[in-house]
Chains A and B, each alone.
Chain A
Amino acid sequence: MAASSNQSNDVLYPMQTPLSRADLFKLKGGLTLFLIGLAVPILLLLEMRYVVAGGYVAPQVTQWPAIAATVAMLLSGLFTVAGSKSAKKANRPGIVRSYNWAILFALIAIILIGIPAFNGVLDPVSHYGETFIPTMGTIDVYLFFTWIGMLATRSRVKRLGNKIENYWGVYATNIVLWFMFVCWVVTWVQLYYL
């Protein structure tokens, strides 16, 4: 990456160097490790829920925002996939267009996930509520940082223009968003139905 190709004093942007196969392999491997690390807290929270609240699901928990959030995240994910497809063809305006929609839907998902956790229907001091709120909050925080990453990717593609040599940033954002989608679906099914 930049540090090794830094012979001529130029510090390059992450997307401004061509990537070899080995570089790409390294980046994918590093991302995988990172996602494994990110999955651990989710597993802990899921286990915590059974320790504290067993299989109980509060009947008054708000259903529609969760379903709507799943749809929004799915749409967002489809748009990042479209972004990756555009990236393969080096179609930069296409990436920006797709990301505009993806960012919008991800924001909607963040808000929707926040609703059942913080609309006051659940008692935060009940066994179910006290695991529900931190779990949904964690997913929301994860998603918020993913969202910032999406903003950064879009902004980078837009500003660097034809100086871009690789589109790893776009692919990585897509992978992370789909990882978030899986985390969310697992959490949702587990908290609402299991």
Chain B
Amino acid sequence: MSVTPGNSPLQATGELPVVPRRRMSPPMKGVIWAAIGFLLLNSIVSGIDPDVLHSYVNQVSVVFGWMGAMVGWLFGVGGWDALVKPAFGFPLKWKETVGWRRYFEYSTDHKVIGIQYMVSSGLGFLIAGIAAMMMRLQLMSDHMWLFQYSKGYLTTVGVHGTIMMFSVGTVFMVGGLGNYLIPMMVGSNSSAFSRLSGISVWMVPAGIMTVAFSPLLGDWTTGWRGYQPLASQDGDGIIFYYLGVFILLLSSLIVALNLVATIVFKRAPGLTWNRLPMYAWGMLAVSFLNIIWIPEIMMTFILALLAKIVPLPLFTAVGSPMVYLQMFWLFGHPEVYIVVVPALALWMEILPVLSKKTLFARQWGVIGLVFVMLLSGMVWAHHLFPTQGNSTILPISFFTEMISIPTGFAFMVAIGTIWKSKFTLNTPSLLVLMSMFNFLIGGLTGVFLADPMVNMQLHDTFFVVGHFHYTIIGGMVFSSFAAMYYYLPKFSGRTFNDKWGQFGAYWIFIAFNATFFQFFIVGLRGMNRWVPVYPHYLMWQNFEISICAFLLGFGFLYNIGYIIWAWVKGPAAEENPWKAKTLEWYAPSPAVGTNFETEPQVVNGFYDYSDGAGEAVVFQS
């Protein structure tokens, strides 16, 4: 890269001298530092490796090389100048920039970080979506045609699941919307640990790239679960799975610490727990789940990595693959609630505003979120019913069916709020209703699957895949689109044409149901998961499901494209187009710079639409 002399028209401010050279863009600097870090550590480890048969890039050296690359990337993208050197007391040469460039470098502004999280997550959604389309292409026929080997297909399934779960499901609504909205919602100008947060966001693209490029090392067949001991017999790509997921989870862990500290310690005066916005409650519940379960699974992945590269017989030692299975699903089931709880909270956030009616049974909504969080740690074994005895199946089955009760509270609150209200049916509220419909189907089929007898029949069929996608896409992805439309005026100061927004909503709703409702049917007819080839009698239904899936893929592309268009070129929006009362709408739109020039004081609940309800917030001069 050439360094050209700068002739920047913008004057540098402050006491620092003007540096008359253009610097390299931080992402490019990060890539180069990462390459140097990889070569350095990989060479050292390769060099001292006693095994002469090993190649230059081998299982052990690639792990250390990856660590070097990660440190190089995080340092290069801004961590070295903005975090490490100041931590050691060296002069700080970094300053926050403005314009589009600040989205491509280290920042401490929670709104910039939120958008960085959302865009990284959106990148993951596209990559994993392409993987899903490749899977559906393969499944259009009952024999191998797109992939040469079955391992290629299974690797694609793994890349799809891993990136979707760990960089979209866990990240978009928590790291993205959470980072953007939560400090504003609690009336603060910054998040609690803004420096840490500024660097954690750069772990997401690194993690996505690590998983996306894992096939370069070799195919892996374990899916997003990384099952040991199966994984230790796989190709070396599984190493990049463990490492990539590790760094993505580390990012989510930092987000969780930051959000809990922000909600607990940075609330504006008067913002009591009774007045805390619903989305903040959701983030609090999710973040506690994250703080408990993410370290657990990170350690499990380290052990699994050791089982692969040393190799230690950790997960074969007791003669049963159950050890890893238990350790994974202990995290794995809370994980799906980590994905879904923000969506439930978002319904309760959006619906009272668009219904112009006081939030119904608010405390039950909060209790629901908290109990979902508590119960989610007690249901993991339903993922492995065929391996369990009656003594464990029955209590787990009981808890699994119990968890639908606090989840039902969210429905109760949402429906009670809409009931007999002056409901505004626009794109965000429509998407919330669609999300509720889809999640209801996902939840009801979950009750079937929680029943041991049915589970034995349906285990590992497309019925389970359908159930899962109804909860995750139906719950989280639809709600995320609702949030994107709802908060678009806040993000950009621009709005969208409701007709085109609703068109997009109906498109994905119809295509989604056409695709995934058939998963239930094809699953009942005997279609197994994890197979690229299947008996001929299932071919025409699979062919037709694939067509619907492509329509769904284009529908998502349409919505993303339309949101980007509206963000950049849409008509100007009012300051508070939905007439919401929550604190984030008191900040300027688009939200740039300081959130609140004077400290807000909360004097009322945010969801009170009864006659004579006063303003929720006053600003002291």
Binding site for B on A (CB under 8 A): 1-4, 9-11, 13-14, 22, 25-26, 29-30, 33-34, 36-38, 40-41, 44-45, 48, 51-52, 124-125, 127, 130-131, 133-134, 138, 151-152, 155-160
Contacts and interface: CB of A to CB of B under 8 A. Distances in A.
Contacts of A125: 312-313
Interface in B291-320: 291-292, 294-296, 298-300, 302-303, 306, 310, 312-314, 317-318
B440 interface: no
Nearest to B189: A4
B: contact size bracket: 35 or more
Contacts of A152: 87-89
A58 B109 CA distance: 53
Contacts of A44: 295-296, 299-300, 327
B95 A11 contact: yes
Nearest to B315: A52
10 contacts: A3-B189, A4-B189, A9-B14, A30-B265, A37-B257, A37-B291, A40-B299, A124-B310, A124-B312, A127-B317
A187 to B, nearest CB: 13
A13 B13 CA distance: 18
Interface in B442-500: none
Contact of B295 (A29, A40, A127, A131): A40
Contact of B266 (A26, A48, A131): A26
Contacts of A130: 312-314, 317
Contacts of A22: 265
Contact of A13 (B92, B257, B292): B92
A10 B312 contact: no
B571 interface: no
Contact of B192 (A30, A40, A127, A133): A30
A86 B311 CA distance: 48
A133 B317 CA distance: 15
A156 B189 CA distance: 27
Contact of A156 (B87, B190, B193): B87
B336 interface: no
B291 A30 contact: no
Given A13-B92, A127-B317, A130-B314, A4 B190 contact: yes
Given A51-B323, A125-B313, A26 B261 contact: yes
Contacts of B257: 30, 33-34, 37
Contacts of A151: 88
Nearest to B96: A11
Given A37-B253, A51-B323, A3 B194 contact: yes
Contacts of A156: 87-89
B188 to A, nearest CB: 8
Nearest to A40: B295
A41 B194 contact: no
Contacts of A11: 92, 94-96
Contacts of B194: 1-3
Contacts of B188: 4
Nearest to A8: B14
A2 B83 CA distance: 12
B108 interface: yes
B151 interface: no
A134 B312 contact: yes
Given A30-B192, A37-B257, A138-B302, 6 more contacts: A14-B87, A26-B265, A36-B292, A37-B295, A44-B295, A52-B314
Contacts of B88: 151-152, 155-156, 159
B90 interface: yes
B264 interface: yes
Nearest to B327: A44
Contacts of A1: 190, 192-195
Nearest to B311: A125
Contacts, number: 117
A109 to B, nearest CB: 21
A155 B90 CA distance: 9
A124 B95 CA distance: 49
Contacts of B14: 9-10
Nearest to A25: B265
A3 B261 contact: no
B596 to A, nearest CB: 10
B358 to A, nearest CB: 32
Most buried by A among B89, B265, B266, B306: B89
B133 interface: no
Nearest to B108: A3
Contacts of B300: 44
A55 B194 CA distance: 44
A35 to B, nearest CB: 10
Q: Top 6 nearest A-B pairs by Cβ distance?
A: A159-B89, A41-B299, A26-B265, A40-B295, A156-B89, A3-B190
Contacts of B95: 9, 11
Nearest to A149: B87
Nearest to A30: B261
Nearest to B198: A3
B110 to A, nearest CB: 8
A33 B196 CA distance: 14
Nearest to A125: B313
B313 A14 contact: no
A26 B192 CA distance: 8
A130 B232 CA distance: 16
B86 interface: yes
Most buried by B among A33, A38, A131, A160: A33
B436 interface: no
Contacts of A134: 302-303, 306, 312, 314
Nearest to B595: A4
Nearest to A28: B265
Nearest to A10: B14
Interface in B185-216: 188-190, 192-195
Contacts of B292: 36, 40
Interface string B90-125: 101011100000000000110000000000000000
Contact of A33 (B89, B92, B195, B260): B260
A36 B92 contact: no
B293 to A, nearest CB: 8
B327 A52 contact: no
Contacts of B294: 37
Contacts of B13: 9
Contacts of A9: 13-14, 95
A13 B86 contact: yes
Contacts of A33: 257, 260-261, 291
Contacts of A127: 317
Contacts of A13: 86, 89, 92
Contacts of B302: 41, 134, 138
Nearest to A161: B89
